[in-house]
Structure formats: structure tokens, C-alpha cells
Chains A and B, each alone.
Chain A
């Protein structure tokens, strides 16, 4: 793991742009290689910034194949495997759309894994899986924890081998929305954020680059130690409370993209995860308070 790897950032601006406009660049993000053809200057620049540390794959085989195409009147579209799958969008939201298209590939074509909609970070060799209702601040918590030194697995997916329960990192940029963008910029010293896109269907979106250390270790899996269901409140001290197994089971399964496809193997995998983890509700109002509570949890102090 110490040999020099060709990374996106090691390519010159010109080379990157040329290849993105031509045969494409294949980027390895954990278990997945994505070929990108992005003949748009601003996307090339964003890629260079946000994916600088990711290895370029030269095997010729990609798991996902994403092409951006300019249409008339300020619109672009993304092709998957050379095929139209989505409606065109305004060029101004090309970056969040690209991230979304790659996510789409992941949950459409990766059923060899159990995929749960969750933010996943790792410390002390165990993964912390945050899942639950949308709007609970998972991505923001994820970014804050990563800013505190936790290893980033993903802000969007828990990628789990159903046979042995190992989670796999992806370490792609963390998508932050609206107020969270400023909050993370203030909270995380040295945070590298890409451009902000206005007018997405979720409001303003910007992406925080993963720390180089997380990207370098993107081929190191971990087992889950904690399943946390965050809930934002208006006030109050951050508090963790245990969630009974049956309830945790259904929350986890409900947040899975493909639990239903895995049949009995999926059922067994989720049962084992629940058994192996502490399942907890996290009620919080203040972001730093929540981070501190999770730090204490993993350090083994009183909840």
C-alpha cells in the first residue's frame, strides 16, 4: 500500500480535461471504479479539486460508466452506459447532478452488496452507521465527525457484504445542504469545499472533500460497532438512548435500498448487524455537542 498511485490530482489540468473530453477517466472509489466522461470545464475543475486524492484506474474495466453531454440552451444530461436515464438539467447544477448520477449507479447496479441509506464513519476499527429519517442531519454530522478525525466511509451508503457483514468505504465528497454548508465551513478547520450549486431540488448544495487519509484507506473495510439514529431537536443536551432490537431491525431494513432483494441472506445479515452493534437514538440540538457525545460513546465513556 505504499507504492505511488496515479491520482486524479497528479494529472495536469490539461491532461485531465483532455481525457475527460475524450475516452474518459476511470476513478477508483473504494470497491467501485467509475468511468467519467465530462467534457465541461467546470466539472473538470471540480473533479480535480474534490477527487484529487483518488486513484486513476487504468485496467480498462469500470463498474459504472457516466457521461455528461451538453445539450442546447444551457442544459446538460448524464448518460449511464451510454444510455439516457434521466431528464436533462440546467448546467448550473452539473456537479450535484454528477454526484447523484454516480449514487444512482451504485444503488442500481451493486446488489452484490447490502446497501443502506446511511452515513458511515470509522474510529478505533469499528464503523458507526447513522441512518433514519431524512432531514435529521446525517450528512452534516458525518462532515463534522470527519472534521474531528473520524475516517470517512460515505455520507450516503453503508456498503455491506451480506456474507460477513464487513462495511466498505467509498470516501466520495460529502454533500452538504443549505445552512450546513456554512456551519461546516466554520466548524471544520481546513475543510475543502467545492463550488456551491443553487437551485437544486434540495436547495443549495456544496461538497466537502474527504481527507486524504480517508481516501488512502478506502480499500480497508471495517465491521459495524454502532447504529445510531440521529434526531434533531430545537434544544437540549445531546443524549444517546438504546433502541430495542426489533425496532432497530425495522429502521435499518426500512432505510436499506435493496434489503428486499437479498431474501433470507439479507434478513440474516441485518440480524447479525443488530446483534453485533449498540443501537442508539441520538437526540441533539447542537452539532458540536453531538460530535462530543459520539466521541465519548466510542471512547467507552458513560453515555
Chain B
């Protein structure tokens, strides 16, 4: 690996080898992709923080303060959500960032989490929504088009924002939109879930957590923090490696949940970019989910290009194009193509209007 940012993400002890100019370049790139707090956590975990230059440490501490408060905020939100949903006699499964925090996963240290995502059985979603609204959450103001988009085509209610705290909870009943080609069964996810250290929530089983994150990065999502998402995937694989049931069941689980393709991309690009250790048997098993060669070759070029922030100056047209292609692909995978064109045209019009004359 020649990319300096990827190199330090993979081996944090090499941070002590960086001189001030190298740190400068690294800081610019880490800021662009919200990974400064992650570098801080990695440096501390590797036991090298105290050996870094004082001026570098100051910047890492700055990011640490913010990340620590985000963690506190998420924990408080979980407390408040648990209170609101106390009467709901149904499993409530934490997803994404809040789940990583609740599970105390090592890579959650240094991550900025702003919303709480939860998964509930579809037949209880209206009741959950009512309970949250009784406790002060409100639907964000959306125009009728976006309301319809969320409710009908997406996999979640429009986000609920708390009236006073202005924090957001996203209530899901599936992890991918009903309109998507891939159809992971939410009942299977809930059935395999386990109690979280933060009562009364539940967490996805480790394999499911990984598959969900892979689906989020490689199937939906908007790629603004894609490198961070890949760092999460790497973190999960390293953390769950210790669980003896994790790797052996992963391929079968991906097949069961119809998430083989995202798993393939997750394994492939985490290994290539972050040197994530993956057992050979799993790599071999995932080949069954590989894309046809032309698509695979294209993704092999697009994904690293989109994930890696430029070291400085403006984005080259190449990277911008890669990002746009992937964004279009993500939306295509979510919405039938005719609807996609209309949706993208509308979003472009809104961006134009928002920027003003």
C-alpha cells in the first residue's frame, strides 16, 4: 500500500514515523473524511500518542473532545428512546453507529455518530412512531414529494427529530428499501438479534451487523463518508474475528439474507485498502458472490477512487465522476430506473435552487 492514510489506518504504530510535513498532509486528508478522531483513538490504542509531536496531539485532542461528546449524546438518546418505547412490546434493534457505541466495539471510539437508527418489526412501526411522537419527537418538515419518497420507496419513516434536543431517530422496518433488488429478511435479522449492553435494546448478530454495514456502503448510502464506512467494516471484522462462530457462518448467512454481493465488495476492498485479515476459506467462499467480470473491473476502479480523499486541492474530475457514478448506481439499486431519473432531476433542481442565483 502506498497511500499514507490507508497505511496508518492499517498500522497505527507507524504514526510515530511521520514527520511534521507528513502529519500536515495526513491531517488535511483526515479532516476531509472525518477520520481525525479515529487517528487519535488508533494512536492511543497503539500506545504511541504521547510520542507524537505536541502540535499534532493538540489537534487530535480537539477531535477527541468532539467524538467523546457525540458518544455521550448517543448514549443519552438511547436512554430517552428506551423510555419512550418502554411500553412497546416488541424487539427494538439498534443499527449502525448507535449499535457500535452500545456494543462498545473498539472501532466506535473516534466515530462521530449523530443519529440513532433502530429496527422494529414492520407491524409495530406505527405504534413506535406514535410513542416517539408522544415523547417529543416530530417529523422533520418535508415537502409532500419527500414524504412520499420516504414512506413508499425508502426503508424508513421520514426521520424523527426531537423538538427540544433536535436529535434524530430513524425508525426502520427493513434494512434495504422494499424497492431494492436485494431482499434481506428483517424477521431473520430480528430473530438472530441479541440483548444489547444497553437495555432494553437489542443488537444484530455479528455477521448480520457486518452484512448490514456492507449493504449500507456498497448497496445504498450516499458515499459522503465512504472511507469511514470501510474503516467501520475493517473494525468489525477485526473485532468479530475473536468470535469463533463469526467467520464459519458468514458465507451461509450472506446467502440467506441475499447480501452476498455487498459482502463480496466489503471483503475485497477492506483487504485491498486496509489489509483487513480475512480467512482464506471465507475469501474463497465469497467468490460465489462476485460480480460478472466487466462490472467487477469497473467497481475495482470506481470504489477506491471514490473512497480515497485527494491529498489536496480540488477533486479531480476523475474522482468526482467516480463518486457520481457510484451515487447513481446506489440509487439505481434502490429505485426502479424510471423513478430514478425523476428523483435525480428533482434533487438537482433543489440543489440549484438552494445555492441561489
Contacts and interface: CB of A to CB of B under 8 A. Distances in A.
B14 interface: no
A246 interface: no
A42 B78 CA distance: 52
B59 interface: yes
Given A111-B66, A261-B66, A263-B69, A63 B32 contact: no
Contacts of B55: 33, 59, 61, 63
A87 interface: yes
A258 B68 CA distance: 13
A31 B61 CA distance: 14
A260 B167 CA distance: 14
B61 A60 contact: no
Interface in B78-110: none
A62 interface: yes
A110 interface: yes
Interface stretch (B128-136, B308-316, B324-332, B335-343): B308-316
A20 to B, nearest CB: 15
A82 B312 contact: yes
B20 A111 contact: no
Which size bracket describes the interface of B in this complex?
20 to 34
B150 to A, nearest CB: 28
A287 interface: no
Contacts of A31: 58
A112 interface: yes
Contacts of A63: 55, 58-59
Interface stretch (B21-29, B171-179, B189-197, B203-211): B21-29
Contacts of B56: 61
A80 B29 CA distance: 11
A179 to B, nearest CB: 30
Contacts of A109: 31, 59, 62-63
Interface in A56-80: 59-63, 65, 67, 69, 79-80
Which size bracket describes the interface of A in this complex?
20 to 34
Contacts of B61: 111-112
A112 B310 contact: no
B318 to A, nearest CB: 16
B114 to A, nearest CB: 13
A83 interface: yes
Contacts of A185: none
Contacts of B53: 61
B72 interface: yes
Given A60-B21, A65-B28, A87-B355, A82 B314 contact: yes
Given A111-B65, A260-B69, A81 B28 contact: yes
A110 B69 contact: no
A204 interface: no
Interface string A256-279: 001011110000000000000000
Contacts of B313: 67, 82
Nearest to B354: A87
Contacts of B50: none
A302 B75 CA distance: 51
A82 to B, nearest CB: 4
A35 B58 CA distance: 17
B254 to A, nearest CB: 35
Given A87-B355, A262-B65, A263-B69, A61 B314 contact: no
A207 B298 CA distance: 53
Contacts of A60: 19-21, 24
The CB with the most chain B CB atoms within 10 A, among A31, A60, A61, A263, is that of: A61
Contacts of A82: 28, 32, 310-314
A67 to B, nearest CB: 8
Given A60-B19, A61-B53, A263 B28 contact: no
Contact of B24 (A61, A69, A84, A262): A61
Interface in B43-62: 53, 55-56, 58-59, 61-62
Contact of A111 (B21, B63, B72, B311): B63
B20 A59 contact: yes
Contacts of A79: 314
B69 A61 contact: no
A262 to B, nearest CB: 6
A62 B24 contact: yes
A201 to B, nearest CB: 13
A82 B53 CA distance: 23
A79 B28 CA distance: 11
A46 to B, nearest CB: 24
12 contacts: A35-B24, A61-B24, A61-B27, A62-B24, A65-B28, A79-B314, A81-B31, A82-B310, A84-B314, A109-B62, A261-B69, A263-B68
Given A61-B27, A111-B62, A263-B69, 8 more contacts: A33-B55, A59-B55, A61-B53, A61-B55, A82-B28, A82-B312, A109-B63, A111-B66
Interface of A: 31, 33, 35, 59-63, 65, 67, 69, 79-84, 87, 109-113, 258, 260-263
| A-B residue pairs, 8 tightest by C-beta | A60-B21, A61-B20, A111-B65, A112-B61, A82-B312, A81-B28, A112-B62, A261-B69
